[in-house]
Amino acid sequence: MRIAIYIRNRTLENDGRLLKLMKDLENGGNELYAASVSDDLQPGTDMLISVGGDGTFLSAAARISDRGIPVLGVNLGRLGFLSENHPEAVAPALASGSYTIENRTLLKAVLLSGKCGMPVPGESCALNEITVHRSGAAMLGVDVRIDGSELPAYWADGLVIATSSGSTAYSLSVGGPIVLPESKVLIISPIAPHNLNVRPLVIPDTSEVELSFRSRDNGIMLTIDNRNYEIDSEEIVRISMAQFSLKRVRLNDSNFINALTSKLFWGEDIRNGCK
């Protein structure tokens, strides 16, 4: 295979675990090259390995999601659900074919009024979540329409619209549910809501969500995964499933439930035999 290696944090380039992984891959007959994931992906690239944490994986996914190249995340950090694989496990799994390629839902954002312009299409897709957030001190009101049906306004610091892949990211930190990655759903979760009778909402991932705003501030922060844009408070943001999905490489011995246990200490309780 021809494999691109993407490293956003250049200090990792001399990490001993990474150097051994690259040597093992080359000994297995693979062709490796370094990629910045911009315009320098070589023709015939079969896979991209993202080295770092989940933030690095998101940066890689944002740039190549529409190219159909599978992405494998190698974690040299402390916590990762997208980059969950230890470097020692990768070369043997690829050599033996002990992996599958998942199709992960991507979200796209479109600004309907066109006042502010829109990020280029390749940059407007989100694997984890799309978030709107107040940019000033004033409370933000968000009017939400789901397939044309209007919800009561959310009064909050902001709103997160997450995929199932993003359920363990920002959505989780604001009180959203944990969802298995293969679930075909979206999660709408308010950030620090000012009305106590609103809760996170789970909807089909085929839904079209429109957001409009009530704010005394002129600007709203729109975040697409880890990329930030300031938009006018009079904008209308339409969020829907992208026409293509991200191809993510999952090693056969990886398990989402086990990841919850090891990374989020799921069930850490003395009654479960934990000390």
Q: In a 3-state reduction of DSSP, which class is residue 260?
A: helix
In the beta sheet, which residues pair with residue 240? 108
Furthest CA-CA distance within the chain: 61
Q: In a 3-state reduction of DSSP, which class is residue 269?
A: coil
Residue 251 CB neighbour total at 10 angstroms: 18
Task: Of 209, 120, 194, give the one whose Cα is nearest residue 161.
Answer: 209
Task: Of 259, 256, 160, give the one whose Cα is nearest residue 211.
Answer: 160
Q: In what order do the strands lie in the sheet with 129-134?
A: 201-204, 185-191, 158-163, 129-134, 219-224, 227-232
Determine which one of 15, 39, 54, 217 is catalytic: 54
- What residue has token string 């992208």? 242
Concerning whether 54 is annotated as a catalytic residue, the answer is yes
H-helix or E-strand spanning residue 240? strand 237-241
Question: What distance in Å separates the CA atoms of residue 66 and residue 178, rounded to the nearest whole number?
Answer: 27
Distance (Å) of CA 42 to CA 38, 57, 95, 165: 11, 19, 22, 28
Residues annotated catalytic, as ranges: 54
